[in-house]
Structure 1
């Protein structure tokens, strides 16, 4: 058995090969990852329901399967799940101190698929109140931080998952996304994530725009997860029919591909110069490899997002007002200030707001139709202060930073975040790669191609 001190940094692909050749064991790797977490976690605060002994029990069971020749698809590979993905027996606080801590009665579909594949669940990961922030700020969890710079935010709402992936808490992590909650923290933490097409990964509860997706350091590890996460589950009535997709297919050939380049979303915060330069450099690399890149105008409007904002505020207000006053007082003040503005909205305003989901979808599909894929920034800005709820930290302007990500939740198109560069201060910059609806595999393959094209990556952050 190897005594490599960096076992926590091995990819899932590498771990499975090492298990298969008996060079490593799941117990050895799990112990190494747990020891690494113990060094990092006091600074990052990325985890919830962390149970080392339970993880070691799973690792021992996995090791026994490998020895019997009965290994499963992801047997013994360390995993975390965002805390709003139910796991049987664990309460699901949804990031807020206002929640009742009632143990979940069953695994949600993503948890069930990865458990069936033999992955070792280390812990759940943190999120902000109700998942309604692009931040690690929560009234329930300690403040989660970005491992690249502890003064900065990991983003959200898949805050802990992104921080854990960047920090090397094992190779496999799962988050969720309704407006950018996979891609934004992935971009700010320098990792890879795929927001799949709506219905590609069964999820519960399912509602408009919501998806689960992989968060990993490499595209290949995300491909391993997609093969399991995309398996059917009847509990999601919106899920897609099963397709026999080769998630580990080679990178796309770039010659002749037509790529759109969107640097202005049509509304929202201005793109910082360093971010724009990084995305332009990524586009040039695609061009040099044979792709055709053409400018693409922003297609969504402020009217669309303002309408959707009203609808989302009302949905959250209806949940908030059902809480007893004592529990309302526990909700993060930023969230409370945002939802309370919905109290006096009219029915016509809500209907018009709801209709903006269709407006986003129609505009996105039409804008993307001339291209095979679309490139854009993930976020207009780099990671912001750890203590802030959003890049502007203003509940009156909660969505100015999601203009590039939100439309593709509404259109249900697959969209990935992959690191493309770093700021002058060493913070990651995410490139978004968007495909036509249901072309999740193509987005993964184009992301894998970019992994080979991009400049050498910096070493992953380590605990002080």
Structure 2
């Protein structure tokens, strides 16, 4: 390990560069992939005992891949646009030869036969998948709590939760484990932790990023310190893969499109989620101030009603409980005993839901789809909070910590999964306690590029985040 990366500010400085600057330095041979990876390993080894973001961290293999990338750059023949660049992916995205525990101790650790689409696209472009990131049991918590992984914590305040289910990805990105990370999202699992950790996190239109296994509302997407870091990833992970039968026809979008000119744009401001936890005043103030910025640059901002109802949220809860209890019923009694009690108790209630209630509950996904589509008949784009809660303890399973009320915190995020619209979280300020606040930007279906352009505009007005937490400092 080099002296540069071990102790000096210079070693930390290269780790906090944007992804494009790092790759340009690799190509120009001003920075070696080995030097960068060595510095990254030093940061991870110093931080990970407290943050606990990673699974299958393999420093020696990563260094070997970095040496191979260095040799390719020396010959002027990089393997792809991400050659030598460290990336993490959420553990439930399969990587060939590695088990996929999906966050629970109940899973038998069987090696995956192949890379899932996202992992395959990254490797094709030379990315170094140096680690996977933690998630809770079955990816069904907004928390870093898991029966399989160590407890992941929020780097902004290690007593607090990073959110989830892309908990490790959020914690890793906020702690500075490189700029490029991939999560998944079926009800807010990218945007919620991105909001609580200050990141840009994108839930793309359903099918924009091929995913396997696929399910209603489930997507993969980037979680990064800046919008531009995510744009770099989207150019790669959106490439086609036959295994996702829900994927959109491939379209090469201009993810590098400039910041949007918002003059004349009609923006709906949704400050009421319709149900669930009451939104903290600090969050409402920060989101309202963000909307004022859009208005000051020429947009028309109008208040709009919520798209979610109690009936929709409860219906989804019934359907998901029953689905997961069915999965757990296939396990042995010994395996079921290993599941996180919160998740077990939540799913077990699905055993008592009637088939009619399950079917009616699942139909609420279509009610959400109609409601979200209807919202865009009156406005061009929608702004809202991401999270209603400021923060919550690291060892809680959710902001309510109550399996009888599991989804009270996802009311701003889950409708857009079922409606299939692209939506992002971008930091719009901090609470008095120093915790990040997320602004959600939502566009009509397939208008992913609009989300990026609007996020770039807001990021430019807001300015860079300069106080990222560094546990290794």
**TM-score bracket relative to the smaller structure:** over 0.9
Q: Which residue of 2 aligns with 1:5?
A: 11
Q: Distance in 2 between matches of 1:278 and 1:421?
A: 6
Q: Please show how residues 232-381 of structure 1 align to structure 2 within 5 Å.
A: 232-381=240-389
How many residues align structurally? 464
- Deviation for aligned residue 1:228: 0.3
Partner of residue 57, structure 1: 64
Of 392, 396, 401, which residue of structure 2 is paired with 1:388? 396
- The TM-score, its normalising length taken from structure 2, stands at 0.97
TM-aligned CA deviation for residue 8 of structure 1: 1.6
| Cα shift at 1:455 | 5.4
Partner residue of 2:105?
Answer: 97
For the Cα contact (< 8 Å) 1:82–1:174, is it kept in 2?
A: yes
The 5-angstrom pairing of residues 423-462 of structure 1 reads 423-454=431-462, 457-462=465-470
Separation of aligned partners in 2, 1:183 and 1:456: 19
Task: Please say if residues 430 and 437 of structure 2, whose CA atoms lie closer than 8 Å, have aligned partners that are also in contact.
Answer: yes
3-state DSSP of counterpart to 1:5: helix
Provide Cα deviations, 1:127-177, integer angstroms capped at 9, x if missing partner: 000000000000000100000000000000000000000001011100000
1:18 equivalent among 15, 25, 36? 25
Q: Which of 217-226 and 56-65 deviates more?
A: 56-65
| More moved, 452-461 vs 287-296 | 452-461
Of the three residues 234, 238, 250, the one matched with 1:226 is 234
Q: Which of structure 1's runs of 4+ aligned residues deviate more than 2 A?
A: 1-4, 455-458
Superposed counterparts of 1:158-177, under 5 Å:
158-177=166-185
Contact 1:2 1:23 in 2 (8 A): no
- Mapped to 2, the partners of 1:55 and 1:455 lie a distance apart of 33
Displacement, 1:457? Answer: 2.8
Unaligned runs of 5+ in 1: none
* Residue from 62, 66, 87 that aligns with 1:79: 87
2: CA distance between counterparts of 1:90 and 1:459?
35
Superposition deviation, residue 372 in structure 1 = 1.5
Whether contact under 8 Å (2:267, 2:381) holds in the other structure is yes
Residues 69-117 of structure 1 show CA distances to partners (whole Å, capped at 9, x for unaligned) of 2221111111101000000011110000000001111000000001111
- TM-score for both structures, normalised by structure 1: 0.98
Residues 371-401 of structure 1: CA distance to partner in whole angstroms, max 9, x if unpaired?
Answer: 1111000011122100100001000000000
Alignment RMSD (CA, Å): 1.2
1:125 maps to which residue? 133
Residues of 1 paired with 2:265 and 2:27: CA distance? 38
